[in-house]
Amino acid sequence: MADLKGKSVIVTGASSGIGEATAIFFAKKGSSVTLNGRDSNRLQDALAKCKAAASEAGHTDNRFLGVLGDITDSAVRDDLVEQTAKTFGKIDVLVVNHAVVIKDDTFDGVTEEGFDETINVNVKSALFLVKRAVPELERNRGCVVCVSSIASQCTSKQGFFSYTISKAAMDHMARCLALELGPKGIRVNCTNPTFVRTRIFRDIMPDPALIDATEEIFAKATPLKGPESGTQEQAEVIGFLASDAARFISGQCVVVDGALLRRGIPFNYIDQMAR
């Protein structure tokens, strides 16, 4: 993906997990990257990792920018787009990676406030960030990659009720945006990762043993054996969709799960653990 060199990329939710891995991936390819996150210390750590990765890969002319703030705030979205365009002179790629999973996310347990938070973070802020970035993306025939989840294509009785709804909405939003923005030369796709051990799950599973058990059951249920389901595997697919190799791919939801959906997600196990 040599064509990523010189690109200007925004990654939200970039201070940990898939977002951080994606920012580092683009840094290694010679892209200039703006990282957005809500935790100042973690954001600075991610920026340092990007700079180190770029240097190790022999890139000396790509630059990095951190924009701290809650992406549900329209002022933060404005700042993110404006600072990136001003600092790098353009925006080629927008990776919409931020998300939230609330606690007690069951039909019985979810509150209006919790459901609103899930939709606001996972769907509404994503849509209006894309809308804000469209004028910049149009100038360079840019692209958008939304990070969804395999949860969008299944149901969970316990523990991920509003989350699965929000991710199904994100999938359809990406398809609708592909139709809306295609005439402007902007591609829109999304990825649907399998379970990846990231902070979003640590927040609702504070017991490390529970995360270990969940990771193990997903690994056993996944038909494809050999490669691990990690942040790097997800970042590489995001990078591909942002590259010229995917220049005629738009409106697609790319499942990255080692064929797990073909077998069925072991949500019954997670449902029991979440109680």
Predicted confidence (pLDDT) per residue in 15-57, tens digit: 999 999 999 999 999 999 999 999 999 999 999 999 999 999 9
**Model confidence band, residue 77 (pLDDT cutoffs 50, 70, 90):** very high
Token pair of 195 as six digits? 């379970």
The reply to whether 269 belongs to the active site is: no
Provide the strand spans (E) within the chain: 8-11, 32-37, 64-68, 93-96, 143-147, 187-193, 253-256
More confident of the two residues 95 and 271: 95
pLDDT at 91 over 70: yes
What DSSP line would sit under 127-178, residue for residue?
HHHHHHHHHHHHHTT-EEEEE--GGGGS--SSS-HHHHHHHHHHHHHHHHHH
What pLDDT score does 148 carry?
A: 97
Q: Per-residue pLDDT for 275 more than 60?
A: no
Q: Residue 202: name the closest of 44, 12, 17, 15 by CA.
A: 17
Q: What is the pLDDT of residues 200-252, one digit of tens each?
A: 666 666 677 777 777 788 888 888 887 777 899 999 999 999 999 999 999 99
> Which residues, other chains included, contact 91 with Cβ-Cβ below 8 Å and sequence gap of 6+?
8, 9, 10, 81, 84, 85, 133, 136, 137, 140, 142
Asked if pLDDT for residue 194 goes beyond 60, the answer is yes
Catalytic residue among 163, 195, 218, 267: 163
Is the pLDDT at 142 greater than 70? The verdict is yes
What is residue 82's predicted lDDT score, i.e. its pLDDT?
99
- Domain, as residue range, for 249: 2-274
Q: What is the mean pLDDT of the segment spanning 90-97?
A: 99
* Residue-wise pLDDT tens digits, 149-162: 998 988 765 578 99
Where are the extended beta strands (E) located within 174-261? 187-193, 253-256
pTM of the model: 0.93
Q: What is the pLDDT of residue 210?
A: 72
Give the count of domains, the chain. Answer: 1
Which tens digit of pLDDT belongs to each residue from 104-138? Answer: 888 999 999 999 999 999 999 999 999 999 999 99
Residue 64 has pLDDT above 80, yes or no: yes
Tell me the CATH number at 66.
Answer: 3.40.50.720
